[in-house]
Structure 1
Amino acid sequence: MRVLVTGHEGYLGTVMVPELQAAGHDVTGLDSGFFADCILGDAPEPPPGIAVDLRDVTVEQLAGFDAVVHLAALSNDPLGALAPQITYDINHHASVRLARLAKAAGVRRFLYASTCSVYGAAGNGLVTEDAPLRPLTPYAESKVRVEDDVAAIADSGFSPVFLRNATAFGFSPRLRADIVLNNLVGYAVLTGEVRVLSDGTPWRPLVHAQDIARAFATCLTAPLEAIHCRAYNVGTETNNLTVAEIAQAVVETVPDSKLLITGESGADPRSYRVDFSYARKELGFEAAWSIPDGAAELYREYTARGLTSDAFFQRFTRLAHLTSLKESGVLDDELRRIGA
């Protein structure tokens, strides 16, 4: 199958591409290159790629593909809060435009990377894909809008599927340090402290980047009638933990580290536990990585590859990195490349 992966030079895309290639797919990437140089260790082997801003994709660039795996986005809540309109322009409007162009180009499958954060403040019960969506941030709201708008254009020739990923963790050569487990392990390696800024009580579901890639690979070959216009939570119930419990797993992994729950950021309203049984029953997919295994992997990779404070707090933190690109004159206020 010919597959186009948007955001192939990002944290998830760098893990996704080799997984799909190993499954026998002919993969092409599409990326603006914001994070192409955010590498820890050896640079990955790139697939053939299209260098273009998501907002400028053309129907001609999508012709000939059997499927689009759409990962590209401004991908965290702090960035969304700082620049909500740009978040909506890229994450919502450009994503829906991409889907419409894909449909016009004859692409049959459209796999969209949504998020479990669409459930927002869901309480202590396990939420299924049928639960009310209560997004609390521009990032999560943009994901809900894309699901709604892309579902509206589905038909017999165009089958979207919405993969609501739990919070990602795990090593990728293009690292992100601003997601919870990656951040806690990195901070512990660099400082000896496992620092939690909230009160530690919110629930978070977590899933390894490799498991996310496996879920997308599963949907690429699932019968169209099974996945047509469906949403699937991607993760495992055993990784539904409170932030304090996640932090404790880090303490047990990083030698001589100490837990510090400061509470300085106040109570976090984003709290949800997720049911992942639909993907098991309907797709035969089950996430394999546990949080302790992921913490051990991150500790091993960080120490082996020489993680530094500068890289951790700047290059591998989305908001800091994009701010640096703006300040250095690479990007303008709309996050477009200057002179491109």
Structure 2
Amino acid sequence: MSLKADMRVILITGGCGYLGSQLIRDLAGDPHFADVVIRILDNMQRRGYPALMNLPTEGRYQFIEGDILDPVAMRWALEGVDAVVHLAAVVKTPFSFDHPAWMEQVNHWGTAQLVERCLDARVTRFIFASSASVYGPGGVFDETSICRPVGPYAQSKWRAEQVVMAARERGLRPTVLRLATAFGYAPTMRFDAVANRFAYLAGIGRPLTVYGTGEQIRPLIHVRDASRAIRFCLAHSEDTEDHIFNVVGENVSVLDVVEAVRSVKPEVRIHYTEQDVLTHLSFAIDGRKFERMGWEPRYTVEAGMAEVLALFKGLAALSAEFPEIPTDSIHNHT
């Protein structure tokens, strides 16, 4: 396998988000990218300020507060760029049912506009962070499986994928990563997906609400493994471009996540309730195509839950003194 990372400037859109905040640090510590300028673009709507704090001193960073939908910001952002890692997206899935037009505008049309501006600027290397949710429910899916996305988030990601891959005919050199749902610690955290949400609730002494039987399968990946997957594709561009890859650490049930939390906090309480339409999705993805390229996951769900729970050390005992307040349901579509 060839190794090629002769890049001077890498643009990370959404670089202050959950995955972005980890990736920009990992790039600085990766010898393949020792002298690369890491250009971060983010509109800061999710208040990802921690991403910019305490960055590694060995990193060469630039930051642009701007939006992928803003042509002026993107013209500056793409100046002199050798590769783009496109992470910017609206990701809170239940919210997408209330605001599908915004989801479509950012995730689909925002990606389409970014692709056009990349081609105009002669930036051809393009890594797109898509989602395993494009497959829809009910099965074990590989990259040849038919996609039947459910809901505005998954549908917008699927349409964005089609735009990205169609641009190959015009010179784009894309890699599409269908990422499992990320978990684990990163400087800018997310707690709206099942694994991190369960760790958070247990950490503050609240019960975990399981909808239905809890046997629904979810593909998960540690955020540092997701970062490693992106860096692998950047470093092995000639072998990974023009491909779609599933990227997954483990396919686990919701009950498996509960047990991972219990392995650290055995006293955590579990509430079962009726399953609703937003929580019934169950599917797994086959990641062997990407693993055959030479990448493999390193972090388990158990390790990730222990890591996140450690962030809330000391809260559970005090929080238990308060009366119990019903928690929201846990939705996991990303």
Match of 1:12 in 2: 19
Contact 1:194 1:250 (C-alpha < 8 Å) held by counterparts: no
Q: CA deviation at 1:39?
A: 4.6
Match of 1:232 in 2: 245
Q: CA deviation at 1:99?
A: 1.1
Q: CA deviation at 1:263?
A: 2.7
Contact 2:203 2:315 (C-alpha < 8 Å) held by counterparts: no
Change (3 A) 1:204 1:261: same
Looking at structure 2, the residues matched to 250 and 261 of structure 1 have their Cα atoms a distance apart, in angstroms, of 16
Code of the aligned partner of 1:50:
I
Contact 2:202 2:309 (C-alpha < 8 Å) held by counterparts: no
Contact 2:216 2:282 (C-alpha < 8 Å) held by counterparts: yes
Code of the aligned partner of 1:140:
A
Match of 1:293 in 2: 303
Match of 2:325 in 1: none
Looking at structure 1, the residues matched to 271 and 294 of structure 2 have their Cα atoms a distance apart, in angstroms, of 39
Q: CA deviation at 1:38?
A: 6.2
Which whole-Å deviations, capped at 9, do the CAs of 1:274-321 have from their partners, x for residues lacking one?
11100111x211111111111111111232799x99xxxxxxxxx9xx
Corresponding residue SS for 1:260:
strand
Question: Can you give the 5+ residue segments of structure 1 that lack an aligned partner in the other structure?
Answer: 310-318, 320-340
**Total equivalences in the alignment:** 303
Which whole-Å deviations, capped at 9, do the CAs of 1:250-283 have from their partners, x for residues lacking one?
12222421222223535734211111100111x2
Out of 57, 81, 106, the position equivalent to 1:65 is 81
Looking at structure 1, the residues matched to 312 and 88 of structure 2 have their Cα atoms a distance apart, in angstroms, of 25
Q: CA-atom RMSD, angstroms? A: 2.5
Looking at structure 1, the residues matched to 211 and 49 of structure 2 have their Cα atoms a distance apart, in angstroms, of 25
Looking at structure 2, the residues matched to 34 and 45 of structure 1 have their Cα atoms a distance apart, in angstroms, of 20
**1:89-104 matches, cutoff 5 A:** 89-104=105-120
TM-score for the superposition, normalised by structure 2: 0.84
Out of 250, 261, 270, the position equivalent to 1:250 is 261
Contact 2:205 2:315 (C-alpha < 8 Å) held by counterparts: no
Corresponding residue SS for 1:132:
coil
Match status 1:112 vs 2:128: yes
Code of the aligned partner of 2:248:
G
Match status 1:130 vs 2:144: yes
Out of 185, 199, 202, the position equivalent to 1:171 is 185
Question: Can you give the 5+ residue segments of structure 2 that lack an aligned partner in the other structure?
Answer: 1-6, 320-330
Out of 28, 43, 63, the position equivalent to 1:32 is 43
Corresponding residue SS for 2:283:
strand
Q: CA deviation at 1:199?
A: 3.5
Looking at structure 2, the residues matched to 295 and 115 of structure 1 have their Cα atoms a distance apart, in angstroms, of 22
Q: CA deviation at 1:66?
A: 0.7
Identity %: 31
Code of the aligned partner of 2:184:
G
Corresponding residue SS for 1:231:
strand
Corresponding residue SS for 1:106:
coil
Match of 1:200 in 2: 214
Contact 1:159 1:229 (C-alpha < 8 Å) held by counterparts: yes
Looking at structure 2, the residues matched to 217 and 119 of structure 1 have their Cα atoms a distance apart, in angstroms, of 24
Looking at structure 1, the residues matched to 29 and 170 of structure 2 have their Cα atoms a distance apart, in angstroms, of 29
Corresponding residue SS for 1:54:
coil
Change (3 A) 1:37 1:275: closer
Contact 2:16 2:188 (C-alpha < 8 Å) held by counterparts: yes
Corresponding residue SS for 2:88:
coil
Which whole-Å deviations, capped at 9, do the CAs of 1:131-186 have from their partners, x for residues lacking one?
11010011000111011111111147420110010011001121111011100011
Contact 1:35 1:174 (C-alpha < 8 Å) held by counterparts: no
Match of 2:271 in 1: 260
Which whole-Å deviations, capped at 9, do the CAs of 1:17-69 have from their partners, x for residues lacking one?
011122223201001011235659x9442931111122114334312111000
TM-score for the superposition, normalised by structure 1: 0.83
